[in-house]
Amino acid sequence: MNKPFYRYFTLVFICVMICRSAAAQTVQDDSINRQHAMANAVNIYNKAIGIQAPVFTGPEFYFYDPHIKGTAFFLDINSFTDGSVIYDGYFYKHVSMLYDLNLDEVVVLLPGRIARFTLLKERVKSFDFANNHFINIKADTLGSDVISNSGYYNQLYNGKIEILGRYTKSIQTTTSTLSGLESYFSSSKSYYLRKNKTYYKIGSQSSILNVLKDKKKELRQYLKTNSIRYKDDPEAAMVKIATWYDHLTN
């Protein structure tokens, strides 16, 4: 059986099984059961086609020169780690991946560890890695001058308001008295808050509270009462502030 026909046959078989399963459910449970059935079907399909899954396509990835100090990767995780991705509209879980901040690319490892591929960014909707949820943003679709760079953003919070983190790394070169030229990875972070369809660049506690000024007094009291020190963990504090703001504006 050739590969294209095998894929088609597998998908048709799974769809038939979904329909048969859904037809046997009560109307009350139908929506939940369909969701579970679809998720299960996708997992079966992904296992059935294995390395032929569309997610395992893209240019081959090569690791950096080991003489460069530091790593290019998110959280300095330089070994392939379990994650998930929505690619071409399909959800793939248990994908071995890395997130390269220098290139702003997701790298996946082919089952059997025989090759490494960079996912085609235009086909990635989002991915989850190391307990973080990244979304693929096309800057020109936001209608905002604040977010000008397209790419992956960490969606730290998404409710009435949204908080995004943008992480980058770049290779810098300096002169060392011992070894001459020396290269290293330099990192940077920037944060954005969306309120009423408008994006604001944030960073400090005061910049967040100024955007959320309609509840500024209550938010200050919340931080004080709960002994939340922004500088100890800015991202955690941002999420807590956003969560409480949504609570106050219910």
Q: For residue 194, is it within any domain?
A: no
Band of residue 54 on the pLDDT scale cut at 50, 70, 90: low
Q: For residue 7, is it within any domain?
A: yes
Lookup: tokens for 172: 């810098």
Q: For residue 42, is it within any domain?
A: yes
In the predicted structure, residue 168 carries a pLDDT above the cut 60: yes
Q: For residue 184, is it within any domain?
A: no
Q: For residue 80, is it within any domain?
A: no
In the predicted structure, residue 52 carries a pLDDT above the cut 60: no
More confident residue, 37 or 183: 183
In the predicted structure, residue 15 carries a pLDDT above the cut 70: no
Q: For residue 12, is it within any domain?
A: yes
In the predicted structure, residue 100 carries a pLDDT above the cut 70: yes
Look at 17-21, 62-66, 167-171, 189-193 and tell me which has the smallest mean pLDDT: 17-21
The pLDDT assigned to 29 comes to 56
Band of residue 47 on the pLDDT scale cut at 50, 70, 90: low
Per the prediction, the chain carries an average pLDDT of 85
Q: For residue 187, is it within any domain?
A: no
Q: For residue 161, is it within any domain?
A: no
Structural domains counted in the chain: 1
- pLDDT tens, position by position, 203-218: 999 999 999 999 999 9
The pLDDT assigned to 23 comes to 47
In the predicted structure, residue 8 carries a pLDDT above the cut 50: no
Largest CA distance in the chain: 75
CB 157 within 8 A of CB 238: yes
In the predicted structure, residue 79 carries a pLDDT above the cut 70: yes
User: What is the residue range of 21's domain?
Assistant: 3-52
Average pLDDT over residues 129-148: 96
Angle at which helix 234-248 crosses helix 216-225, to 10 degrees, equals 130
Length of the chain: 250
CB 165 within 8 A of CB 154: yes
The pLDDT assigned to 194 comes to 98
In the predicted structure, residue 178 carries a pLDDT above the cut 90: no
Look at 4-13, 78-87, 122-131, 223-232 and tell me which has the smallest mean pLDDT: 4-13
